[in-house]
Amino acid sequence: MSGTVAIIGGGVIGGGWAARFLLNGWDVRVHDPGPEAASRIEAVISNARRALPGLLDVALPEEGTLHFCDTLAAAVAGAGWIQESVPEDLALKQATLAEIQASCDPGAIIGSSTSGFRPSQLQQEVPRPGQILVCHPFNPVYLLPLVEVVGTDANAGDFLARAQQCLTGLGMHPLHLRQEIDAHLADRLLEAVWREALWLVRDGIATTGEIDDAIRYGFGLRWAQMGLFETYRIAGGEAGMAHFIAQFGPALQWPWSRLTDVPELTPDLVARIAEQSDAQSGAQDVAALERIRDSNLVAMLRALKGQGWGAGQLLAAHEDTLRAGTDLGQSAGEVADPAQPVLTLRRVVPLDWADYNGHMTEAKYLQAFGDATDRFMEMIGCDAAYIAAGGSFFTAETHIRHLDEVHTGTLIEVRTRVLQGGGKKMHLWHEMRAGARLLATGEHFLLHVSLETRRACEASPEIDAALRRFARAQADLPRPEGAGRGIGAPR
C-alpha cells in the first residue's frame, strides 16, 4: 500500500515521517514555510537512508519521490494521508488543520503528531472533525515502530481501521488508545521520569550522566524488550501479579520520589544540566550522536528479531508482508524459468553487518549465503512445517570466495544454482552481486538429515522432485568458474 502523503511541518518529527513514508514507497510532498526546513528534512532522510533499508532482511519497495511545496494547498491537494507536525500550540494546530481541510480530499486521513493535545481539541475548529485523529510517533520516527493512535466518536465507519492498516504498512505498530487523555500514554510515563530526574540533578544527588547510566545499564535494557508489567510479573514469580503488588505495593506510599512538586527551572538549574550534559556527551556533536543512536537501535532491533520477540517480532511480520507477492515469496513450482539461477536473497547490507569502516565483515557473507540457502529450502518445500515434522538439511561444507567489497546501505542479491540435488544431497552455488558487480561466490554442500537421529536420510519425494527439476533444468548452464576448487596455495 502506498500513495501520496503530505507532510505539514518540517521539523525532526515531520522529517522522520517524510523519511518513513518515502522509503516505504510513498510519494512525499512537504510544506514548511521556514527557510531551514528543506535542509533539515534532507538531513533526516539521509540518516534514515543509512539505517532503515538494511534493518529488514528483505529490500523495501522502491523509494517514492520527494517534493517541497511552497503552499500548504499544493501539498495536500490529492494526498491520501496528511500528517500535521507543526509546533505544539493548540491555536496554531487548529488553524493549520482548518487550512488543510480547505484544500484536501475529504476522504484523506489527517494525522496529527501532537504529543499532548487530545483529538477532540484538534477536531473543534474544522468543518469535518471525523477526518482528524492523533498519530503520535517517537523520534527517530523512521526506526521506532510505536505510534499512538487516538480518535473520538467523530471518526466514523472504517476510518480508524484504514489509518491503522496504513501505519502497519509502514512497519509501525499503531497503539490505539481506548480513551483520549492529555499526552496519551508514553509521554505521561516519560514526564514522570523527567520530573524525578530533574529533582535528582537539582538536589545534587546525581549528574545527568549518572542518571543515564542508572537507566541504560539497568532497567532500560529490561524495558527495551518487556516493558514494566511483564518485568514485574517475572519479579513476582509464579505467585503472580497480585502477589507482586502485595509485596511491593506498600513502597508506593513511602517518600521515594518527589511527587508533589515540580522543580523550578531556574537559570542555575538549566545551566547545571547543560554543563553536565556537555561533560557527558559533548565529545560528539548531535549529528554524530544521531548516527550512533541509529546504529545502536538497528543492532538491538535486529537482535530482538533474532529472538522473535518484542519490536523484533514486528520486523519479522513486516518482512513477510514485503516478501509476499515478490519473487522471494515464490514456491519452486512458481519459478518462471527454473533453467536460470533463482533469486534467493534481495536485501540491503545493514549497519550491524559492518566493520568500523562500513564494509560488510567476513562472517556476514556466510550469513547472507546461509539466508539464501534457507530461502531456497523453503521454496523446494523444506519449510518451517517440514522442519517441525523432523526433516532438514545440514551444511557439511562451505567454500566462499570474497571477490569484492561492499558497503552498508548497498542492495545485494543472491542467485542460486543447483549443481547436484536429489536423495540425501544438495549441492548449491550462490552468486552475490551488487548490480552487475560480483561480490562473492558460495559453494555449499548439504545433506538431508533426520532431526531426531541427526543422521543423513532421504528427503521427502516432493523435495527430491523439486531439487531434481532444478538440477536437470540447469544442467546445460556452463559450470561456474571456481566450483569444486580448493584453496590453491603451494605446499
Judged by CB under 8 A, the chain residues 341 through 360 that form the site for a copy of itself are: 352, 357
Whole-angstrom CA distances from 100 to 8, 134, 250, 257, 295 are 9, 15, 51, 44, 36
* Integer Cα distance of 342 and 417 in angstroms: 7
Q: Are strands 437-450 and 425-434 parallel, antiparallel or unpaired?
A: antiparallel
Segment 208 to 227, residues that bind a copy of itself, using CB under 8 A: 208-227
Segment 383 to 402, residues that bind a copy of itself, using CB under 8 A: 394-402
Q: How far is the CB of 222 from a copy of itself (least distance, A)?
A: 7
Segment 266 to 305, residues that bind a copy of itself, using CB under 8 A: 270-271, 273-274, 276-278, 280-281, 285-287, 289-290, 292-293, 295-297, 299-304
Is the Cβ of residue 397 or residue 462 nearer to a copy of itself in the bound state? Answer: 397
Is the Cβ of residue 1 or residue 292 nearer to a copy of itself in the bound state? Answer: 292
Sign of CA dihedral 458, 462, 466, 471: positive
Contact call for residue 34 and a copy of itself (CB under 8 A): no
Grid cell, residue 470, equals 532444478
Q: How far is the CB of 5 from a copy of itself (least distance, A)?
A: 21
Contact call for residue 190 and a copy of itself (CB under 8 A): yes
Is the Cβ of residue 225 or residue 330 nearer to a copy of itself in the bound state? Answer: 225
Q: Are strands 109-112 and 132-137 parallel, antiparallel or unpaired?
A: parallel
* Integer Cα distance of 137 and 163 in angstroms: 14
Is the Cβ of residue 335 or residue 372 nearer to a copy of itself in the bound state? Answer: 372
Is the Cβ of residue 63 or residue 405 nearer to a copy of itself in the bound state? Answer: 405
CB–CB of 207/279 below 8 Å?
yes
* Helix-strand-coil split of the chain, %, nearest 5: 45, 20, 35
Whole-angstrom CA distances from 426 to 174, 241, 373, 440, 467 are 43, 51, 10, 20, 8
Residue of the chain from 38, 90, 316, 366 that contacts a copy of itself (CB under 8 A): 366
Is the Cβ of residue 71 or residue 296 nearer to a copy of itself in the bound state? Answer: 296
Is the Cβ of residue 76 or residue 426 nearer to a copy of itself in the bound state? Answer: 426
If DSSP codes are grouped into helix, strand and coil, which group holds residue 458?
Answer: coil
The stretch among 63-71, 122-130, 156-164, 207-215 that binds a copy of itself (CB under 8 A) is 207-215
Q: How many helices (H) and strands (E) does the chain have?
A: 17, 13
Q: How far is the CB of 449 from a copy of itself (least distance, A)?
A: 10
Q: How far is the CB of 159 from a copy of itself (least distance, A)?
A: 21
* Integer Cα distance of 303 and 319 in angstroms: 15
Q: How far is the CB of 469 from a copy of itself (least distance, A)?
A: 18
Residue of the chain from 49, 67, 162, 195 that contacts a copy of itself (CB under 8 A): 195
The stretch among 59-67, 89-97, 123-131, 476-484 that binds a copy of itself (CB under 8 A) is 476-484
* Integer Cα distance of 104 and 100 in angstroms: 6
Segment 72 to 131, residues that bind a copy of itself, using CB under 8 A: 88, 115-116
Q: How far is the CB of 413 from a copy of itself (least distance, A)?
A: 18
Q: How far is the CB of 65 from a copy of itself (least distance, A)?
A: 27
Segment 140 to 159, residues that bind a copy of itself, using CB under 8 A: 144-146, 148
* Integer Cα distance of 393 and 450 in angstroms: 9
Is the Cβ of residue 313 or residue 321 nearer to a copy of itself in the bound state? Answer: 313
Q: How far is the CB of 225 from a copy of itself (least distance, A)?
A: 4
- Total chain residues near a copy of itself (CB under 8 A): 155
Contact call for residue 229 and a copy of itself (CB under 8 A): yes
**In whole angstroms, what separates CA 29 from the centre of its chain?**
23
Note the helical H segments in 126-283. Answer: 159-169, 186-202, 208-214, 220-223, 227-236, 241-248, 267-281
Length of the chain: 491
148 burial level (CB within 10 Å; 0-12, 13-18, 19+): buried
Residue of the chain from 57, 319, 443, 464 that contacts a copy of itself (CB under 8 A): 443
* Integer Cα distance of 213 and 208 in angstroms: 9
Grid cell, residue 247, equals 509485596
Is the Cβ of residue 103 or residue 139 nearer to a copy of itself in the bound state? Answer: 139
Is the Cβ of residue 94 or residue 367 nearer to a copy of itself in the bound state? Answer: 367
Segment 302 to 321, residues that bind a copy of itself, using CB under 8 A: 302-304, 306-307, 309-311, 314
E strand or H helix at 466? helix 461-473
Residue of the chain from 33, 89, 161, 182 that contacts a copy of itself (CB under 8 A): 182
* Integer Cα distance of 447 and 398 in angstroms: 12
Q: How far is the CB of 299 from a copy of itself (least distance, A)?
A: 4
Is the Cβ of residue 148 or residue 431 nearer to a copy of itself in the bound state? Answer: 148
Q: How far is the CB of 76 from a copy of itself (least distance, A)?
A: 27
CB–CB of 63/142 below 8 Å?
no
* Integer Cα distance of 390 and 292 in angstroms: 43
453 burial level (CB within 10 Å; 0-12, 13-18, 19+): exposed
